[in-house]
Amino acid sequence: MLAQGPVQTKAKLQYQVSNLPDFGGTSSGGNSINDQSWVAGYSRLPDRNRHATLWRSGLLSDLGTLGGPNSSVTWNVKNTQGVIVGISQTADPEPLGESWSSAAFYSTPNNVGYINLGFVWEQSLGQMRGLPNFPGGNNGFATGANNLGQVVGWAENGVHDGACVSPQVLQFRPAMWTLGPPDQIQDLPLIPGDTSGAATAINDNGQIVGIS
């Protein structure tokens, strides 16, 4: 005789899909969510430009720009200290004709032609600010932030690097910013022999991952 106990069945997971409000443009997207259910990403405006956007409890906030037409949160920032980071165009023209990282996700005609900076937005201040580049560099990009006031991404320096793929001219390096004031930038190492790279995420142990 075979005795068989009760069979335990796994509870079915229940999902609810919610539409997030937008700014009336053609598309929007959530690219980051933290443990407080804050969603960050972008929403297009009726003029086709996109702005970095934060959704809290289903309500959207326009994080603005650094003076240019576009901004966006494009990576999973994921901290619980009210810090959002991303990329924003400034009002300044790009002097070397570089398309930087914005050409792939901003709409024409404003996807190129402007200097881009990594930005940080802090809940306690309520306004985005640009993060510094390495000396001689024009463009930057912030991708991740931990709960210790550390932000990572990549930024240009003043080295004209022939290994860069056109229209990129300047070398760019993985960067970590320690939030201030003042915000301070630190160069991160690359794989030996490489000249450019990027940092994409940081945890609360100070461990950083990226690309070289």
Q: Following DSSP, what letter does each residue of 5-45 receive, concatenated? A: -PPP-PPPP-----PPP--SSS-EEEEEE-TT--EEEEEE-
Q: In this structure, is residue 76 part of a structural domain?
A: yes
* 174 found inside a domain: yes
Q: What is the pLDDT of residue 2?
A: 37
Domain count of the chain? 1
In a domain, 160, yes or no: yes
Quote the pLDDT of residue 71: 98
Rounded Cα gap, residues 204 and 5, in angstroms: 45
The whole-number pLDDT of residue 3 equals: 41
Number of H helices, E strands in the chain: 0, 14
- Residue 11 contacts by C-beta under 8 Å, 6 or more apart in sequence? none
Show pLDDT as tens, one digit a residue, over the chain (212 residues).
334 455 556 677 888 888 999 999 999 999 999 999 999 999 999 999 999 999 999 899 999 999 999 999 999 998 999 999 999 999 999 999 999 988 888 988 999 999 999 999 999 999 999 999 999 999 999 999 999 999 999 999 999 999 999 999 999 999 999 999 999 999 999 999 999 999 999 999 999 999 99
Domain that holds residue 85: 72-203
Nearest residue to 43 via CA among 35, 52, 55, 33: 52
Which residue from 31, 57, 26 is spatially nearest to 42, judged by alpha carbons? Answer: 31
Q: How confident is the model at residue 159, as a pLDDT? A: 97
For residue 163, being part of any structural domain is answered with yes
Asked if residue 53 belongs to a domain, the reply is no
What pLDDT shows up at residue 103? 84
* pLDDT number for residue 35: 94
Whether residue 117 lies inside any domain: the answer is yes
Structure tokens at 114: 């402007």
158 in a structural domain: yes
What integer pLDDT is reported at residue 13 of this predicted model?
Answer: 80
The secondary element (H helix, E strand) that includes residue 85 is strand 83-93
pLDDT at 130: 99
CB within 8 Å of 9: residues ≥ 6 apart: none
Q: Model's pTM, two decimal places?
A: 0.91
Q: Quick one: tokens of 72?
A: 């966006």
Residue 97 DSSP one-character state: -
Instruction: Give domain status of residue 55, yes or no.
Output: no
- The full length of the chain comes to 212
- Are 63 and 121 within 8 A, CB to CB? yes
Q: Which two tokens stand for residue 185?
A: 């930038």
Yes or no: say if 159 and 172 are a contact pair by the CB < 8 Å rule. Answer: no
